[in-house]
Amino acid sequence: MITRRRLAAGACALAATLAAGLFPAAAAADEPVKESPKVELVLDVSGSMRARDIDGQSRMSAAKQAFNDVLDAVPSDVRLGIRTLGANYPGKDKVTGCKDTAQLYPVGQVDRTEAKTAVATLAPTGWTPIGPALQAAGKDLQGGNATRRIVLITDGEDTCAPLDPCVVARQLAAEGTNLVVDTLGLVPNNKIRTQLSCIADATGGTYTSVTHTDELTSRVKQLVDRAADTQVVTPTATAGAAKCSTAPLLGAGLYTDREEFAEHRWYRVNVTDGQELRASVSVGADRAVNNDYGVLLRAVTSNGRELVRGSDAGSGRTDLLSAGLRYAWAENSGTPVSRTVCIEVSNSFSAPASVKTTPGLPVELGIGLVSSPDNASDVAAFGLGRGWVLLLVLAVTGLLAGVLWGWLARLRAAIWRTN
């Protein structure tokens, strides 16, 4: 199935790459030490996994066979773990059944014999607490700055509402920890497809329907290998404020935040005489939104005088909306003065009444502080000045990047489906 992608991993990674290109000095200075990626396979062991409809064997047997093949092929630099849901409680009490998730094998270097032995003990048992299992898997992968991937394999919908797995996935994405959730459905059911697609979309992951053992093995191997190959620029989590006076003070770098629909969020940056402020923002539509929307990025002085703004708008479907700005101060022949500049990020997204609005939309904000050009006084005197060129480039780049990323995502999804 071709799924809608969001900024949180896919679009966020693209925005991070663009920001790193605009602010290479800051990206190099803040680049984290690369850690081995973390992957956790989350397996549904609920009672319905007894059904014998995958190549003449039970869904559980097919999953075990796939896991054994995957364990034999885990890249040496991947730290892998296994978590189950519905594996231990066979009763009918919902409260107890919805707590039935456990880590079968801890995240780390894989001892293949030990991991295979643990998988061999599994038998279809109870409920399908997908939401609680995703929450627990997120905690299993905490710590450090490595990329993180959850691969969920299930044959049914979550049975533990009101803890909506899609909301859980959005909460995981809002933590800004490079966490992607990929989902694999063992039953080609529309309700299951809708729920698993929503989970994947919320984190920039993928949904795949598999009906054969070799398909399951191949897809899980592919996702584990992808975790090993993924390299990202890690943004720093921040939280904008409702007004500039209480906003967080940011330096040069890449930041991630969440913004509610139609919200205004403020950040502060100290800029010294002779420096040029460069800022870019990307807001991702990680769920269904109404047509007609826009993003505004403004720089104003601490007393409210606008210095410069950048904006982007559209009408129709989008996955990513970006804007940028640039402003320089003339170099002072005396003692340089440091000024506080307020950065405002606002959006005009809205959504149908059926769409959950929390957590907010994913935001990536890039801040660059560089030595201003020799003619900085001209730039400062006329507002954005030659910065209009950069603004145009940012706007066009954001538009092309969103279109290209959406096209590539659909092409890749189509290829995966046919394979």
Closest CA to 79 of 134, 137, 173, 146: 146
What dotted CATH number matches 236-406? 2.60.120.380
In sequence order, which residues have a C-beta less than 8 Å from that of residue 317 and are 6 or more positions away? none
* pLDDT of the residue at 32: 47
* pLDDT of the residue at 269: 96
**For residue 363, pLDDT beyond 80:** yes
pLDDT 10s digits, 173-216: 877 667 889 999 998 888 898 899 888 877 878 888 898 999 99
Q: How confident is the model at residue 97 (pLDDT cuts 50, 70, 90)?
A: very high
For the chain, the straight-line distance linking the first and the last C-alpha, in angstroms and rounded, comes to: 12
Domain boundaries, the chain: 34-232, 236-406
Q: How confident is the model at residue 29 (pLDDT cuts 50, 70, 90)?
A: very low
pLDDT 10s digits, 257-267: 999 999 999 99
pLDDT 10s digits, 299-313: 999 889 999 998 888
Q: Which of 81-90, 92-101, 273-282, 382-391 has the lowest mean pLDDT?
A: 382-391
**For residue 22, pLDDT beyond 50:** no
Q: Name the fold adopted by 34-232.
A: Rossmann fold (3.40.50)
pLDDT 10s digits, 52-62: 999 999 999 99
Q: Which residue has the higher pLDDT, 267 or 164?
A: 267
* pLDDT of the residue at 391: 58
Q: How confident is the model at residue 161 (pLDDT cuts 50, 70, 90)?
A: confident
pLDDT 10s digits, 116-144: 999 999 999 999 999 999 999 999 999 88
Mean pLDDT of 32-39: 77
DSSP, res 244: G
Mean pLDDT of 249-273: 92
Task: Give the per-residue SS3 of the chain.
Answer: CCCCCCHHHHHHHHHHHHHHHHCHHHHHHHCCCCCCCEEEEEEECEHHHHCCCECCECHHHHHHHHHHHHHHCCCCCCEEEEEEECCCCCCCCHHHHCCCEEEEEEEECCCHHHHHHHHHCCCCCECCCHHHHHHHHHHHCCCCCCCEEEEEEECCCCCCCCCCHHHHHHHHHHCCCCEEEEEEECCCCHHHHHHHHHHHHHHCCCEEECCCHHHHHHHHHHHHHHHHHCCCCCCEECCCECCHHHCCEECCEEEEEEECCCCEEEEEEEEECCEEEEEEEEEECCCCCCCCEEEEEEEEECCCCEEEEEEEEECCCCCEEEEEEEEECCCCCCCCCEEEEEEEEEECCCCCCCCCCCCCEEEEEEEEEEECCCCHHHHHHCCCCCHHHHHHHHHHHHHHHHHHHHHHHHHHHHHHHHC
Mean pLDDT of 376-390: 42
Is the model's pTM score more than 0.85?
no
* pLDDT of the residue at 69: 93
